[in-house]
Amino acid sequence: MPKKENVFSSWRGWCGRVTSRLVHRGWRAVQRAGAVTAERPGPYRFGRIGVGTRLAFPQGTLFGEPWIELGEHCVIGEQVTLTAGMMPDVDLGPEPVLRIGNGVVLGRGSHVIASVCVEFGDDVFCGPYVYVTSDNHSYDDPDQPIGRQWPRSAPVHIGPGSWLGAGAVILPGARLGRNVVVAAGAVVRGEVPDHAVVAGAPARIIRRWAPDEGWQPPLRTPAPVPIPEDMTVEQLLALAELERERERGRGREREQAGERKLDVAEHGLEREPGAGAS
């Protein structure tokens, strides 16, 4: 049965809708104002922020900014932690500790922790909640709490063009080559060669490109056909409409074939194999 509404309930619903719009509009304004860019660095003094780079608001933990360099046209998602050094206000010397190349994407909630050199090559894409660290707690003394034992540190390098899936963990000393794929949830340590796909904990190579053989093992699906660079938006829309028309034509053909089979069955024109006239 329809619910009975009075003037008061209608007014309350209208107020709720207006309040919701105002809250969302206000939050979008806060996000725009709180984003960190080269032109609007806010309270942070990074060693470098390239043109077109943006750190979304709200930011995660940020310290050691003078030893952090961000390349051009990077996208740093919300709640991303970027730290250089074990703690704030420590002099780390003349060289940058955390270097992020051009066109790098760090997904929401990712953490990059660097007390020694951590380097991202150009065009590295990271899903949400990726964890990259140059430090790991040691366990030399079985009687001491692990969190109180001095960590071991080693540089990390992530090659250009790589893709780190959601929740991937890159441990101290890891060196990823060019165009490496790290599967979601993988834990990577040690060296990974160029053009490899790794998965698991600890991560192992599950596919790799060989110049003389191609992908080994072979890809399960064909590669997508790239869009020509000189194709216009109008041409793309026309191509999409042509593909839809072809699909509709194939659908009509399937319907007609089904109707023919049904007609044959209804009129008894199909015979059992080997059957003849009596």
Identify which of 137, 127, 60, 72 has the alpha carbon closest to the alpha carbon of residue 99.
72
Residue that has been written with the tokens 């999409």 in this structure: 240
Catalytic residues: 137
Sheet with 54-55: strands ordered across: 54-55, 75-76, 105-106, 125-126, 163-164, 181-182, 196-199, 204-210, 214-216
pTM of the model: 0.77
Residue 4: its pLDDT value, please? 56
How does residue 5 score in pLDDT terms, banded at 50, 70 and 90? low
Mean pLDDT across the chain, nearest whole number? 89
Residue 68's beta-bridge partner residues?
A: 98
Alpha-helical regions (H) of 142-274: 233-266
Given a cut of 50, whether residue 107 has pLDDT beyond it is yes
